Amino acid sequence: MNHHDLALIGFGGVNRALAEIIRDRGDALADELGFTLRVVAITDLRLGSLVQQDGIDLHHVLTLPVGATFAGLPGGEAVPQNEDVIRACGADIVVEATFTNPVDGEPAVSHVRAALASGKSVTTTNKGPVALAAAALNRLAAENGVRFEYEGSVMSGTPVLRLAKETMKGLRISRVQGVLNGTSNFVLGRMEAGLPLADAVAEAQALGFAEADPTADIEGSDVQLKVVILANELFGAGLGVDDVERRGIDGIRPEEVARAAAEGRRWKLVGTVARDDAGRISASVEPLLLDADHPLFGISGATNAVAITSDLLGTVTMSGPGAGREETAYALLSDIIAIDARQRARAEVVR
């Protein structure tokens, strides 16, 4: 049976949820998937660094009291040493789940680069390194015989990238449209019910859908990064963030939302990538007024969805959760499964 040692970079909600899955379902997953998982390193801004090559007691670290650090544990330090831990620990897969920096992708880009350069595969849910540096990081992964996987960077645990790239091979995709930000979608829905924008945002924050600073959601920059990823992964476009035109929902007035609802239409913040007959790629993020027959019309609340239009299938729509700690942790697990499958396939070729 195969075995993988993991290093968790960041120990917030998502990586904690992954640790809980491994703790609670590890034996069942091993039986189902044919490999075992063990966490040998964790780094976190609040907790510090912990390296235990024989495996970390996940129950213990998951139940540390508030305010505790790793300093009192064998192999623990109060200050995180992310890149040093990444290079030196015995993990073969690094799980990067730190915050997204939309400007330069740091420190996540450096975390991923350090892991790949030291011969470790990487899975991440972080949009920054994928949108801003995926091409270079994938080259580095190939040079070192490892994998860089990032299914969760667009729709959390809903597998849009793998669906389009693997299951839909042989199709010529002409357009991808998506409701890719649950916060903005929830806010528009509450505005449709009569709330002003500010009140709808406050409700989203109270329910945990929106961050304390909702700017990236409301102004569309979160979707902009996801559109870059879709354009480059599904169309090979080679786009940067500045190539994607962006408008958020902050300019939509309540009366516009009410008028649209009275007409049987609905505002959605939509990310679009399209290829014309000449092969030119365009990409945008903007509020669109959708008719009831549009495949994204009925996507409500914090749900995400993509509609993929191709030559042989027409439009295929996939919807699912675009956030959530367990849902996003599943995206990381799905990447680990993909890494294991690639390793097995390479081993069979060598034989």
What is d(CA 280, CA 137) in angstroms, rounded to the nearest whole number? 25
Strands 76-77, 48-51: parallel, antiparallel or unpaired by DSSP?
antiparallel
Burial of residue 192, with CB atoms counted within 10 A of its CB: 0-12 exposed, 13-18 middle, 19 or more buried: middle
Asked about 226 being catalytic, the answer comes back as yes
What are residue 167's DSSP bridge partners?
none
What is d(CA 174, CA 310) in angstroms, rounded to the nearest whole number? 6
User: Contact, 6 vs 15, CB < 8 A?
Assistant: no
Helices 182-192 and 197-206 pack at an angle, to 10 degrees, of 130
Rg (CA), the chain: 21
Give Cα separations from 329 to 178, 257, 293, 336 (angstroms): 22, 35, 33, 11
User: Contact, 156 vs 324, CB < 8 A?
Assistant: yes
What is d(CA 116, CA 137) in angstroms, rounded to the nearest whole number? 8
- Active-site option among 127, 165, 169, 226: 226
Structure tokens at 52: 């235990």
The catalytic residues are: 226
